[in-house]
Amino acid sequence: MRILLHTPLKSPGHRTPSGDRAMARALRDVLRSAGHQVRTLDRGRSGKGLSGPESQKAERSAAKARYADALDPERQNSAATRIDLWLTYHCYYKKPDWVGAAMARRAGIPYVLAEVSYAPKRAGGPWDMGHRQVAASIRAADLILNFNPIDANCVRPLMKRGAVLLDVPPFIDTRLFAAATRQRARHRAALKRKYKLPENAPWLLSVAMMRPGDKLASYRVLGKALARLQDRDWRLLVAGDGQARGEVQAALASVADRVVWLGQQAPDDLPPLYAAADLYLWPAINEAWGMTLLEAQAAALPVIAGRTGGVPNVMREGDTGLLTPIGDAVQFSDAIDRLLGDAERRRAMGELARVYAAQRHDRRVAANMIDQALRDALERKR
């Protein structure tokens, strides 16, 4: 099947790290591993997602102009260049899909959405045009691949008769992280030498970009939580960088002597880092579900996270990690304290996490589900 993959939120080809970009690339790779030919609409973002009707009209016009030839009629008449299915990954009121439904309808091919969210509270506000466009896209979709169960509550009532919503657990290539875990001693020794880390103090890890907004808010909760644990012996490894680096450093200033700043890490360097650590921490303010939470578990690393969005759907609470009320630094700190003092429980949770990630969130599991759903959507369209 020839699939056109559209990503209105973020370009998957951009080098700036992002969970959304990583998931878009994972989706593309899953489609290719199932034998499909994937063409990506990767021509930059269609505007800055500014609020207000005039800016949204301009963004809509720019998107239509930019993607006008995406399904050229002459190419559609050729068996060699025809597109069989349009798939849009991740659209919401600030970054709707302005073009996909109309182009798929004109070409007579299935229109598929993956990870779409709809928020009724946005109706009539400054983002109303984008909000209504998301609703129109949902109504036009033949198939919706839903990565966050919470989204289904508002999405399902808008779907047309005969359309299918399939819950697909978010996925990664868990084998990369499991392989790193088998070399844990070597990776840990290398990290110890490079950063002069104490062997007997638990190594805590957080991996996140340093951006204003929710990421910075999460770092601030983390700083407040760790400030309550200064009587414990631990080290925090922070992998990430960004425009809010100064604010993040300020958020962790009270425990600065315990923090190791690793900077932005290449994707290939992350599995050994997860494998070497003892406990993964992320308060997850307003996270949809959290790519790093999957990566940590796949590397046999137990996690402590905020209970928000789809995060509970990518963990087995109490078995692979602990969840605390969102934004509550005291309870987050208490959860860290419990696991800091119980190395055996950390190891048991880590092993359960590795198995859980491999069985539920591996990309080969997702590939089978998505491949069959797309083939069924194409068959229904014929």
The Cα 367–Cα 174 span in angstroms is 13
**In Å, how far are 241, 273, 314, 361 from 276, measured between CA atoms?**
20, 5, 21, 21
In 3D space, the residue among 245, 252, 193, 198 whose CA is nearest the CA of residue 220 turns out to be 252
The answer, yes or no, to whether residue 65 has pLDDT greater than 70, is yes
Residue 46's pLDDT is what? Answer: 45
Side chain identity, residue 174: T
Determine contact, residues 95/120, Cβ cutoff 8 Å.
no
DSSP 272: H
In 3D space, the residue among 146, 128, 173, 198 whose CA is nearest the CA of residue 267 turns out to be 173
Decide yes or no: CATH 3.40.190.10 for domain 2-171+362-381: no
Tell whether pTM > 0.85. yes
The H or E element containing residue 27 is helix 19-33
pLDDT per position as a tens digit, 74-97: 667 676 678 999 999 999 999 999
> Which tens digits make up the pLDDT trace of 144-183?
999 998 999 999 999 999 999 999 999 999 999 999 999 9
> For the chain, what are the domain ranges?
2-171+362-381, 174-360
pLDDT in tens, 248-274: 999 999 999 999 999 999 999 999 999
pLDDT tens readout for residues 14-63: 666 566 778 888 899 999 999 999 998 765 444 455 678 888 999 899 88
**What local confidence, expressed as pLDDT, does residue 21 receive?**
79
Is 3.40.50.300 the CATH number for 174-360? no
DSSP 8-state class, residue 114: E
Answer whether 2-171+362-381 and 174-360 agree in fold: yes
